[in-house]
Structure 1
Amino acid sequence: MMMPTLHIRLLGDFSLIYNDRQVTSLNTTRLQSLFAYLVLHRDVPQQRQHLAFLFWPDTTESQARNNLRQLLHQLRQALPAVEQFLSADAHLLHWHPVTPCHLDVAEFEQTLTLADETARRNDQHALQDALEQADNLYRGALLPGCYDEWILPERERLRQRHWQVLEHLLRLFEGQGDHVSAIRYAQRLLALDPLSEDLSRRLMRLFTLNNDRASALRVYHTCVTTLQRELGVEPDPATREAYERLMQQETPVIPARVHQPLLAAIPTLTGRKLEWKDLQNAWHGAITAGPHFVLVTGEAGIGKSRLAEDFLLWASQQGAVTAKTRSYAAEGQLSLAPVTDWLRSAGLRAQLRQLDAVWLTEVARILPELFAEQPGLPHYESVTEYGQRQRFFEALARAILVTSQPLLLLIDDLQWCDQETLEWLHFLLRFDPTARLLVVGCAREEELPPHHPLRTFLLHLRNSMRVTEITLQPLDAAETAKLASQVAKRELDTGSVMHLYHETGGYPLFVVVEMVRADLGRAPASLLEADHPHGQPPLDDARTLPPRVHAVLVGRLLQLSASARAFVELAATIGRE
């Protein structure tokens, strides 16, 4: 009788299948870590002394060896069949090389070896097949929930290998002139490294070659926003030159309805899976059942803008027309400024010519340049009566909904939005019950007192249509570690992660700022090294704050009473000690 095969999955998550049944008893991180270490080093017998020191470096040798014995006992209890795969004596542990076992990491690396061989033979079809197979096998980071020191370099090595797979596939499809496939891989790479201007330029070029200038422009604007938000810098000259070349082209191509849209990978947003699913559900509801409004709330720095803008990018990749704007505290009384921004966006501006003159005349109240473009356009009259205001609102709604494609509108910092825009938004969402329209608004919860106009807007809107409200919470310690590792482009040790978590409270903006300030992209593997002999991480070294963080903190302090501000000033003087 053949011995059952053990199927082990370590990429993306931990999974064991033995005798065609899922094994769920290996349910602790330390147990999974030991099992993973043994199977990944299955070709070399492991000394107990080495394992004890590796997993418990801060304890005595006798205590570490006792901990190892207990962990091995737990392993045998959780998976009795492990004795068929693992031999153990007083000194060594050794994985049996001849027992039937399928390990996804091994299959991934074997496929990469096959890809290398086909590349040397210059067999392009076989190379593409091997690379695509390797991409399918890499389901995610190696044991993403484990932060033991031994796994960090191995996890990074596999991540880099997968990056090389995606990069190679991108080059293959670029060379073949298959722009659609190349775009898909460029998008995935850019989602993994949103700060890469080189990838942004490549994706802009690919969209241009695919006759989709609007998407190329969206890539540039996303790049600019990301760089300003995450690093506080402008794009480099090469990126700006690529954008200027796009702007010098002829009238933008408005792509036809996409029958088979590019399926974009979910962005690498940390700790926002449920919120992302809520947004997708709202989007599908808007497409199938009519207009929908989503409000994303949370404190400043919590990640509202990042979530919404990544979703905007995702929707554009599904064939939607998208437009975004924001309100500003200093412009709160500037009526309909957000609507003006939307109508001037690349996805909507070119389609205004489809409107009849009677509606264009009304739209020209906030887009006066229409008179220069169409000299024969009649001039509007002053709005003095309710009926004239309603016609003006209807003209703006028709201008927004003139596109035949699904439409996603984003307005950030909605807490500062003017009253007239809120009234018009209510009108827009009720104007055409069949419109495939989703409006996403982001607002700071701490700046929405009980009688804020936005609360009144929501109260009326809930009575007439579906409203989805998403409240963002700070990241937990594990999610903070993941985000910090993405910014630093390497794994961080546990001490640094916990220090960062306590410093930032799990607020994504502050996590990114602290990592950039510490320049961890070029720092040593540990934050607690020779340059900081007293164990004080360099996260405290910088004495200045980026302007945006400074503005956030000042804005919060200004909301405090005089006595509360005095207390905060005293606390700041005393410090943490």
Structure 2
Amino acid sequence: MDENTWRLQLIDGWRLHRGDLDLKMGLRQQRLIAALALLGPRPRPYLAGTLWPDSADTQASGNLRETIWTISRQLPGLLTRDNGRLELTEDLHIDVQELRRAMSGTTAAGGRCRVELLARGELLPGWYDDWVLYEQEQWRRQRLAALETVAEDMLSRGDAPGTMEAAHAALRIEPLHANAIRLVLRAHLEEGNHAGALGAYREFSSRMRTEFGAALPSDVTGLIRPLLIRSG
């Protein structure tokens, strides 16, 4: 890796690298860098209010000013200013942005590679700021939708194992997501694995009753109703 290349990791925790160096920053500096990475360029008042919502405006502005000064001193070139807005250098590679670009091509070849990328961990785990919670939920929904798209594409190409891999990755994000369950059952049926379809259905059905006191959607049951009838 080029010694001048900046890389910011927000998946599975905050990390900043330049070349081979692992750069350590205080929590305030981490939060500002993460906010700019996720929200994009923003005016100073917006950032102060977002990062210090419980502080008076003057205190929040002071906190922001001190944080900017610390980053500029320790990591010169990482922050830039444009038309009154603060932003990160264009030379910074951000893992979330790279994964979002990968999502845009989920129906192309190389679906299994994308499954591996999309199945990766949570966004900034252990961070509970309101703006972070919103971004975490958006990221969860985007990953889930992209994995479903990959699974549907693989199923249409007759790749039942790949379909199950993507669907199970989606289920790790949302364990009883109806469409992911449908895809698992359809993949088993595509392979002619009736025992696997019945076993998966009964497991999902049991969990749905235990956790929510409800039945699986009727169209999910409809997928294997003939097997249920035959199995008695």
Q: Which amino acid aligns with 1:105?
A: V
The change in CA–CA distance for 1:163 and 1:197 in structure 2 (over 3 A counts) is: closer
Is the CA contact 1:173–1:182 (under 8 Å) kept in the aligned structure 2? yes
Give the whole-Å Cα distance in 1 for the aligned partners of 2:49 and 2:178: 43
Is the CA contact 1:86–1:96 (under 8 Å) kept in the aligned structure 2? yes
- Please report how far the alpha carbon of residue 247 of structure 1 lies from its aligned counterpart in structure 2 after TM superposition: 3.4
Residue 35 (structure 2) aligned to one of 29, 33, 37: 37
The change in CA–CA distance for 1:112 and 1:183 in structure 2 (over 3 A counts) is: closer
Deviations 1:190-226 (A, max 9, x none): 3323323443243223213323222212211211221
Q: Percent identity?
A: 26
Scaled by the length of structure 2, what TM-score is found? 0.81
Q: Which amino acid aligns with 1:149?
A: D
Q: Which amino acid aligns with 1:18?
A: R
Give the whole-Å Cα distance in 1 for the aligned partners of 2:168 and 2:88: 40
Deviations 1:50-79 (A, max 9, x none): 2212212222111111222333355457xx
Match of 1:19 in 2: 19
Higher relative contact order (CA 8 A, sep 6+): 2
Q: Which amino acid aligns with 1:95?
A: L
Give the whole-Å Cα distance in 1 for the aligned partners of 2:191 and 2:26: 48
Q: Does 1:229 align with 2:228?
A: no
Match of 2:55 in 1: 59
Match of 1:206 in 2: 187
Residue 143 (structure 2) aligned to one of 151, 162, 172: 162
Match of 2:95 in 1: 104
- Please report how far the alpha carbon of residue 175 of structure 1 lies from its aligned counterpart in structure 2 after TM superposition: 1.0
Is the CA contact 1:194–1:226 (under 8 Å) kept in the aligned structure 2? no
Q: Does 1:69 align with 2:65?
A: yes
Q: Does 1:83 align with 2:81?
A: no
Secondary structure of the equivalent of 2:164?
Answer: helix
Give the whole-Å Cα distance in 1 for the aligned partners of 2:207 and 2:152: 25
Give the whole-Å Cα distance in 2 for the aligned partners of 1:198 and 1:169: 13
Give the whole-Å Cα distance in 1 for the aligned partners of 2:229 and 2:217: 19
Match of 1:8 in 2: 8
Give the whole-Å Cα distance in 2 for the aligned partners of 1:192 and 1:4: 35
Residue 178 (structure 1) aligned to one of 159, 168, 185: 159
Q: Trace 1:448-459 onto structure 2 (pairs within 5 A).
A: none
Q: Which amino acid aligns with 1:53?
A: G
Give the whole-Å Cα distance in 2 for the aligned partners of 1:49 and 1:209: 56
Secondary structure of the equivalent of 2:184?
Answer: helix
The change in CA–CA distance for 1:182 and 1:94 in structure 2 (over 3 A counts) is: closer
- Please report how far the alpha carbon of residue 16 of structure 1 lies from its aligned counterpart in structure 2 after TM superposition: 1.5
Is the CA contact 1:47–1:92 (under 8 Å) kept in the aligned structure 2? yes
Give the whole-Å Cα distance in 2 for the aligned partners of 1:204 and 1:112: 24
Give the whole-Å Cα distance in 1 for the aligned partners of 2:71 and 2:150: 40
Scaled by the length of structure 1, what TM-score is found? 0.36
- Please report how far the alpha carbon of residue 5 of structure 1 lies from its aligned counterpart in structure 2 after TM superposition: 0.7
Q: Trace 1:499-514 onto structure 2 (pairs within 5 A).
A: none
- Please report how far the alpha carbon of residue 133 of structure 1 lies from its aligned counterpart in structure 2 after TM superposition: 4.8
The change in CA–CA distance for 1:179 and 1:16 in structure 2 (over 3 A counts) is: same
- Please report how far the alpha carbon of residue 6 of structure 1 lies from its aligned counterpart in structure 2 after TM superposition: 0.9
Q: Which amino acid aligns with 1:21?
A: L
Superposition RMSD in Å: 2.9
The change in CA–CA distance for 1:27 and 1:219 in structure 2 (over 3 A counts) is: farther
Give the whole-Å Cα distance in 1 for the aligned partners of 2:204 and 2:145: 22
Structure with higher helix content: 2
Is the CA contact 1:197–1:223 (under 8 Å) kept in the aligned structure 2? no
